[in-house]
Amino acid sequence: MTEAAPILELDRLRLSYATRLGELNVTPGLSLTLARGEALGLVGESGSGKSTVAFSIVRYLGPLGRVVGGRILFEGRDLAAMSEAELGTLRGRRIAMVYQDPMSSLNPVMPIGRQLMEVPMLHEGVGTEEARARAAAMLVEVNFADPAAIMARYPHQLSGGQQQRIVIAMALIGKPALLIMDEPTTGLDVTVEAAVLDLVSALRKRHDTTLLFISHNLGTVAQLCERIAVLYGGELVEDGPIRDVFRNPRHPYTRGLLDCLPRLGRSKQEGKLKPIPGHALSPASRPPGCGFAPRCPHAEAGRCLAGPIAQVDVPGEPGHRARCVKAAELAPWRPAPGAAHEASDAATRPLLLRAEKLEKSYRPASGLFAAGGRVVRALNAIDLELRRGETLAIVGETGCGKSTFARVLSGLETASAGRVELDGEEIGTRRVEARPQALKRKLQMVFQNPDSTLNPSHKVGYSVGRALRRLKGLDAASAKRETRRLFEVVSLAPELAERKPEQLSGGQKQRVAIARALAGGPDIVIADEPVSSLDVSVQAAIINLLSELQAERRDSLVFISHDLAVVRYLADHVAVMYLGKVVEFGATDAVFAPPYHPYTEALLSAIPEPDPERRRARIILEGTLPSTGEAPAGCPFASRCPRKVGEICDTTPPPEQALAAGHRIACHIPAAELSSF
Amino acid sequence: MRRGRRACLRFRRTAAAGGRAMARFLLKHLLFLCLTLVVVSFLVFILTELTPGDVARKYLGAYATQEQVEILSKRMGLDRPVLVRYVEYVGKMLSGDLGVSTRFRVPVKDIIFDRLANTGLLALVSFLFIVPLSMLLGIAAGMREGSLLDRVILLTSAVLASVPEFAMGVFLASIFVVSLRWLPGTATLEPGGSWPIATQLVLPVTVIVLFDMGYVVSMVRASMVEVMRQPYIRTAVLKGMSFRGVVLGHALRNAMINPVTVILLQINYLVSGVVVVESVFAYPGFGRMMLEASLYKDIALIEAGALVSVFVAVVTQILGDLAYLLLDPRIRR
Amino acid sequence: MDEAPRRGAQRGRALAAWLAPLANLAGSGATLVGLAIVLFWVAAALLAPLLAPYPPNATDVLAAAHPTPSAAHLLGADQLGRDILSRLLWGARRVLTVAPIAVLSAVMVGSFLGLAAGYYRGFVDLLVSRLADILLSFPVIILYMIVLTLFGSSAFNIILVVAITKAPIIARIVRGLTLQLREREYVAAAKMRGESALYIMLVEILPNARGPLIVDMCLRMGYTTIIIGVLGFLGIGLPPPDPDWGGMVKDTYGMMSVWPHMSLIPCAAISSLVIGFNLLAIGLRESAFRD
C-alpha cells in the first residue's frame, strides 16, 4: 500500500510531561507511519496523549513536555534532533497545524489579511501585493465570497465557523505537505462541523496534502479518513484501514468505543448503552502489560499483565494490527442492532408542565448611556408540554435558546411574557429566590460543566447534604446517612463524599450532581447538556444512569442537548429549536422520521456517523446564524433554509402544521411535500 | 450573550456610528470627571471646614482669644449653613478666585502653578526614563517566563519597588553625597549655588525612576507572560516565524494593552506621590506645598491643591481608557 | 475514639487546606528568603520586650556624645542617645501591629463591598463601583496629609484612613472574582436549594476567591508598611516619642553627613520587611498559578 517512503514516521517515540509528581511518561514508545497523501485519524479519549503526540511532531511541547527518546522522521529527517532555526523552515511551509478553539488561535489585534499574508511573505519572500493576492485566493478556496472584506476584519468580528475556516486557510496557504488537525471541530455546532469537514476533505484532495486528523469523535474520523489509529494511554492499541477497523475491530478498547456510542436510530427501549467500566489509564500507574487490562472484559491476568504486548497482524487484512494477546480469539464484532419500537403510552400520562407563548428577551448589557432600544429575543412564543414520567429533549445549536429555556424553568431567569405552569402553578415569572421551598424541591437541575458543578472549596458530599437539609429539612446526622445512600444510588462509593472535587473524575462529578438534584425528590429534573463535556465511554454510563433513575422514580426529565443521537436514544418527546423558536415538536419516533422540518433534516444529515460505509452527502447550511436581535418577520430559518420556497418565508410566519399524535412542524411547505425528499 | 455582543459590534462598524461612539465615550468620561470634581470638592470642603476646631481658629492660631475667633467667624460668614457656603465657594472657584494662602501670604494661584510647574519638570524627566526602560525590561523578562533573565529582572524590580522612596533617597545620598561627594544632597532649584540645576535633579529623578519602575516593570512583565501563553502565539511559532518575529510581530502590541493604562496612571503618582522625594531633597514642588499647607492648616491652599491633583488624576484615567480603546480593536465601538 | 482530638485534627486539616498555597512555596528560593525575612521581623516584634537591651525612649547622655555603634549600643544610638537596636525592635512591634490591622480591616470592608457589588450587580454595583472610582481617583498621599493633619495623627486614624483608601482596591478585586464565580454552576445549585444570598456569598463564593486575596493581602502588607514609614518620615505618622521607623529617619536625616548610621539602619529595616512581603507575594502568586 505504501509504495513510496512514508512522509512521517514516529519511531518508538517517548514523550514525557513534567508534573508536580515528577516526570510522567505520556507515550511509552509510540511507532506510527503516515504515507504520502493519506488521511490518518488518530483517535483517543482525554488523557490518551493524542494532542501531545500532535504537538511533538511540530516540536511544540511547551516548557513542561519533552521528547525523551525515539525519532520523529519527517521526509526522512529527524525532527527530534533539529534546531529551532531548522524547524522554522519546516513549520508553516512543510508542516502546518490547526487546533481547536479558532478564536484564540488568531491574533486579536491584527487584521485577518495580515495574519494570512505573513506566511508566504515569511517562507517564500514574496512582496506585499503578491501575498495579498495569495491570501485572497486562499480565502476563496475556503468559501469566502468576499475575501477583501474578510481580510480587513479582526477575528472577533467573525463567527466560530468562519474563524476555523480562516485558520485552515492560514495552514494551507503555505502549501504544506503535512497538515495536522487537532480536534478542529470540537466546540463547533454540528452543521458548522459538517461544513468544515467537507471543506477539509475537498481541499486535501485538491492540494494532495497528507492529513493527520486527531479527534475523540469516531464519527468525524469515519467520515474523513482512510486509516485510523486508536490510542489508549499513549499506546497504539489498534490501527488499520478505516473500513477494516470499523467492520472488524480486534482490540477490546476499540470495540468498547464503538459499543458505547448511542447510534442514531437506537433508543432506550432497545436496551442500555454499553459504557467502558473503570477509569482511563493514569500514566503514573501503568501496568506492566496491557494498559487496558484493568477495564477489559476479556482480560486474563496471567496473559495480559505478564509483560509488554506485541502488535498482532489481523489475518487477511493488510495493514490492520491490534495490540492484544487475544486479538485472534475474540468473537466477530457486531454493532448493536437498531430496530423500530412501539410508541410509548405517553399520551395517557398526566400533564406536569406546560409552557404557553413563553418569551424571553434581553436588553444587551449596557451602562448609563446605552444606545438603548435593541432587544435580543432568546425565546419567542414557545409552546411545550411535558407529562409525568416522560423525557422531553430540547435540541438545537448554539444560540437557539435551549439553555435559556432551562434557566427560565429553573428560575435562574424569568420569562418576559407568556406562562409556564408546573402542576397548574405559575413558575415562569418567579425567580428561584421567590419560589417557596416546596416548589424548589419539585424542580432540580443537573448542569453541563463537571468542573464547575461542584464547589472546589468543599467536599463533594457537602452540596448533597446541604440540599437534603434545605429541601427535605433533615438534621445533620440523617443528612449524612442519606447522602451516603444517594451516593450508592448513583453508583458511587459513599467514601467519595469526603473527597474534594479535584480528586474526582468528570463522570464521578456528574454523578454527584445527579445525586444532588435527586436529594429533594424532585418531580422534574432539568439536565442541561449533562454529558457534552465527558468522554464517550463515560457519557454512556451517565446516560444509562439518567434513564434508569427515571424509569425507577417515574419523574420527568427535561434533557437539553445538541447531540441528536443521544436525544434519539433517551427522549420520549423532542422539541427542535432554532433562533428562539420551536420549529418541530413531537414524539421522538415522529421527529426522527419524515416528514422533517428542513432544519431538523439538515441537523440529521450533518451528524458524522461512526460508520465509514455510510458517507453521505450532507445538507450544508449557508451563512451563519443571524443575530436573535434582528427578529425576522417570517420564518427564523428562512435565511439559511435550503428548501426555502420564496418570499413568503421571509415575510410571513410559518403555520404550525399539526400532524399525527401531537407532531407539529412550523413550515410553509405542506407536510406531504416535506415527507418526500 | 457573546453572539449579541458580536452583533453589537457589527452593528457599530459604520464610520458614523464610530464617531458617535467616540463622542459618547468622551461625554461619559467628562461627566464622570465633573461628578468626581464635585464630590471631591465637597468632601474636602466638609473635611476642612467641619473638623474639630473651626475655621476661624485655624486661621488665627492657638493664641487668639475666643472673642477674636467669633468676630472673624462672623466676618467670614462662617455662621451660615455649610451648603450655602459650599455653593458660594464653588462660585468663587469658577470665577477664578482661588482665595489667599495663609501660610505663604500670597494669592493661591500665585504659588500653586509655580509649584505645579516644578513638579511637572521632575515628573516629565522621570516619565521619560520610566516608560522606555520599564517596557524594555518588562518585555525582555516576560517573553521567556522562568528564564534566568526573567528571574533576575523580576526579583530586582520586586526589590526596587520594596524600598520606600525616603529609604532609597537615604541610601543613594549616603553614597553619592556623603561618601563620594559627586552630587548635591538637596534640589532647591536655586541657581547660583555650587551645583547646576541639572545635577540637582539627578538624585530625585533616580529615586523616582527606581521606585516606580519596579512596579511598572512587573506589570508589563505579567502582561507579556500572559500573552506568551496565548494560543495565537503558538500559531505564530507554528507558522515558522522566528522567536524575534513572534515577539515583535505578535506579542508586543497585545502585551501593551493592559500596561498602557498602568503607565498612564503613573502620571498621577508623579504629580502628587512624589511628595516624599520632594521632602527628602527639599525640592520646591507641589507635593511639599500640600504637606506644608496641611501642616499649617492653610485651608484655601489645601482645597485648591486637592482639586488640582484630583483633576490630574481623573484626566490621566481618561487618557488611559482612551489609549486602551485605540490599542484593542475588540472594544473599539 | 475521643471526639475532641478528632475534631481538632479536622480543624487542623481545614486550616491546612486554607493555607495550602503556603505549603507549595518550597519550589522557589526567593520565596523562602521572603518568608524568612517576614518571620524574622515577626519574631523581633513579638520578642521586643525580651530582646531590647534598653527601654526604647531611654536617653543615654554618654551615647549621645558618641553615638556610633559600640559594645554598649550594638547598632549605635541616635542624637538623643537612644539605643537604635531597642528602637528598631519596638518599631517593628508597632508597624507589625498597625499594618496587619489596617490591611485586615481593608480586606473585610473591601471583600464585603466587592461581594455585594459582584453578586447583586445593578444598582449596588453601580454605587460601589462609582464610590471606588472616586476614592481611587483621589491621590492617596494628599488625602493622608489632609486627613491626618486635620484630625491628628494616631494609630487609630492611620488604620482608619489606610483601610478606607485600600478597601476600594480590594473591593474591585473581589468584585471581579465574584462576577466570575457567581456564574458557576454550584452557585446556581445553591440558589436552587434555597440558600440565602449571604450564605452564597460567604460560603460558596468567598472561599474560592481566597487565593488571589491572600496574594493581594501580602502585597498590601508591603505597601502599608511603606505608607506607615512614609507618613512617619513626613512627620504625620505614628505619634512620637515611641519609636517608628519612618520617624527615626526623619529625626536623624539632617545628620546624614555626620552620622549616617542613624538613618541608614531604620531605612534598611523597613526596606527589608517590605522586600520580605513582596517576595512572599511573588511566590504565592506563582504557586497559585501552578494549580
Per-residue pLDDT at A369 exceeds 50: no
Cell of A530: 449533562
CA distance A18 to chain C (A): 12
| Chain C positions in Cβ-Cβ contact with residue A432 (cut-off 8 Å) | 191-192, 194
Beta carbons of C149 and B290 less than 8 Å apart: no
Q: For chain A, what percent of residues have pLDDT higher than 70?
A: 94
CB contact under 8 A, B232 and A108: yes
H/E/C letters for each residue in A611-671? CCCCCCCCCCCCCCCCCCCCCCCCCCCCCCCCCCCCHHHHHCCCCEEECHHHCEEECCCCH
**Closest Cβ–Cβ partner in B9, B27, B240 for A92:** B240
Residue A638: predicted pLDDT? 87
For residue B333, pLDDT over 50 is answered with: no
**Cα(B250)–Cα(B255) distance, integer angstroms:** 9
What digits encode the pLDDT tens for the residues A587-616?
998 999 888 899 999 999 888 888 888 877
The average pLDDT across A111-126 equals 93
Any CB–CB contact under 8 A between B182 and chain A?
Answer: no
Comparing A49-58, A269-278, B62-71, B130-139, which segment has the lowest mean pLDDT?
B62-71
Phi, psi of C5 (to 5 degrees): -65, -30
Say whether pLDDT at A626 is over 50.
Answer: yes
Asked if C204 is an interface residue toward chain A (Cβ–Cβ < 8 A), one would say yes
Asked whether the CA dihedral A115, A117, A120, A123 is positive or negative, the reply is: negative
Any CB–CB contact under 8 A between C205 and chain A? Answer: no
Angle at A92 between CA A86 and CA A96, to 5 degrees: 115
Contacts of A413 in chain B (CB under 8 A): none
Query: Using CA atoms, how far apart are residues C156 and C162, in angstroms rounded to an integer?
Result: 10
Pairwise CA distance, residues A452 & A449, whole Å:
6
Query: Which pLDDT belongs to residue B7?
Result: 35
* Res. A60: pLDDT tops 80: yes
- pLDDT exceeds cutoff 90 at C64: no
CA-nearest residue of chain B to A377?
A: B4
Do the Cβ atoms of C188 and A470 come within 8 Å?
A: no
Beta strand segments in A233-313, E: 235-241, 312-313
pLDDT at B5 over 80: no
Nearest CA in chain A to C186: A453
Interface touch A455/C191, C-beta < 8 Å: no
Q: Does C142 touch chain A (CB under 8 A)?
A: no
Per-residue confidence (pLDDT) for residue B18, from 0 to 100? 54
Binary contact (C193, A20; C-beta < 8 A): no
Share of chain B above pLDDT 70, in %: 85
Q: Hey, of B47, B165, B166, B215, which one would you mutate to test binding to chain C, going by the most C CBs within 10 A of its CB?
A: B166
Listing DSSP states for B236-251 in one string gives: HHHTT--HHHHIIIII
pLDDT value of position A374: 61
Alpha-carbon gap, residue A127 to A124, rounded angstroms: 9
- A107 CB neighbours in chain B (<8 A) are 232, 235-236, 250, 254
Query: Which residue bears the cell 502653578?
Result: B113
Contact in structure between A574 and A655 (CB atoms under 8 Å): no
Whether A244 has a pLDDT exceeding 50, the answer reads yes
Give pLDDT, residue A212: 96
Determine the pLDDT at residue A336. 65
Q: What is the pLDDT of residues A337-367, one digit of tens each?
A: 544 444 455 557 888 999 999 999 877 654 4
Positive/negative CA dihedral, B46, B50, B52, B53 = positive
For residue B24, the model assigns a pLDDT of 79
> Residue A35: left (phi > 0), alpha (psi -120 to 50), or beta?
beta
Q: With b meaning 16 or more CB within 10 Å and e meaning fewer, what string describes A580-607? A: bbbbbbbbbbbbbeebbbbbbbbbbbbb
Residues of A in contact with C210 (CB under 8 A): 457
CA of A626 to nearest chain B CA: how many angstroms apart? 9
Contact B239 A170 (CB under 8 A): yes
Neighbour subunits, A (≥3 Cβ pairs < 8 A): B, C
- Cα(A22)–Cα(B99) distance, rounded to whole angstroms? 71
The percent of residues above 90 in pLDDT, for chain A, comes to: 53
The answer to whether the CB atoms of C189 and A410 lie below 8 A apart is: no
Name residues 316-375 of chain A within 8 A of B (Cβ). 362, 364-365, 367-369, 374
Over residues B200-249, the pLDDT tens digits come to 889 999 999 999 998 899 999 999 999 999 999 999 999 999 999 999 99
Which helix (H) or strand (E) segment holds residue B162: the answer is helix B148-162
Would you call B133 an interface residue with chain A, using a CB distance cutoff of 8 Å? no
C3 touches chain A (CB under 8 A): no
Highest mean pLDDT among A445-449, B74-78, C152-156: A445-449
Instruction: Name which of A329, A331, A311 is nearest A321 in CA terms.
Output: A311
Query: Can you tell me the distance from the alpha carbon of A283 to that of A280, in angstroms, rounded to the nearest whole number?
Result: 9
**What confidence score (pLDDT) does residue B9 get?**
35
Tens digits of per-residue pLDDT, B309-321?
A: 888 888 888 888 8
pLDDT digits (tens, 9 = 90+) for C195-236: 999 999 999 999 999 888 998 999 999 999 999 999 999 989
Residues in B closer than 8 angstroms to C134, CB to CB, are 35-36, 39-40
- pLDDT score recorded for residue C184: 93
Q: Please report residues of C whose CB lies closer than 8 A to that of B203.
A: none
Average pLDDT over residues C29-56: 88
**Quick one: average pLDDT of A291-300?**
89
Window 13-42 of B: residues touching A by CB (8 A cutoff) are 13, 24, 27-28
The per-residue pLDDT for A173 is: 94
Average pLDDT, chain B: 82
Q: Number of H helices and number of E strands within chain B?
A: 15, 0
pLDDT at C15: 52
A262 torsion bin: left (phi>0), alpha (psi -120 to 50), beta (else):
beta
> pTM to 2 decimals?
0.85
CA B217 – CA B223 distance, rounded (Å): 10
C-beta separation of A54 from A97 below 8 A: yes
- Per-residue model confidence as pLDDT tens digits over A172-184: 999 999 999 999 9
The stretches of C152-235 forming alpha helices (DSSP H) are 155-181, 185-192, 197-199, 210-234
User: With an 8 Å Cβ cutoff, are C188 and A467 in contact?
Assistant: no
Q: How far is A530 from chain C (nearest CA, A)?
A: 12
What type of residue sits at position A628?
T
Contact criterion met (CB < 8 Å) for B330 and A108: yes
- C27 versus A544: which is more confidently predicted? A544
Q: What is the pLDDT of residue A357?
A: 92
- Contact of B32 with chain C, judged by CB distance below 8 Å, is answered with yes
Mean pLDDT for all residues in chain A: 88
Q: How far apart are CA A547 and CA A554, in angstroms?
A: 10
- Closest-CA distance, B6 to chain A, in angstroms, reads 6
Task: Please give the average per-residue pLDDT across A110-122, as a whole number.
Answer: 94
Does the structure show a pLDDT above 80 at B51? no
Which helix (H) or strand (E) covers residue A514, if one does?
helix A506-518
Interface of B with C in 145-204 (CB under 8 A): 151, 154-155, 158-159, 161-167, 170-171, 173-174, 177-178, 185
Contacts C184 to A, Cβ<8 Å: 452, 455
Give chain B's end-to-end CA distance (angstroms, integer): 17
Q: Hey, of A457, A464, A509, A525, which one would you mutate to test binding to chain C, going by the most C CBs within 10 A of its CB? A: A457
Cα-flanking dihedrals φ and ψ of residue A558, to 5°?
Answer: -105, 115
Contacts of B314 in chain C (CB under 8 A): 137
Out of C126, C195, C208, closest to residue A456 by CB:
C208
Span C163-197, pLDDT tens digits: 999 999 999 999 999 999 999 999 999 999 999 99
**Pairing outcome for strands A235-241 and A77-78:** unpaired
B5, B32, B239: best to mutate for the A interface, most A CBs within 10 A: B239
Q: Which residue has the cell 430559518?
A: A637
In this predicted structure, the answer to whether residue A265 has a pLDDT above a threshold of 50 is yes
Highest-pLDDT range among A481-495, C72-86, C246-260? A481-495
Beta bridge partners of A559: A393, A527
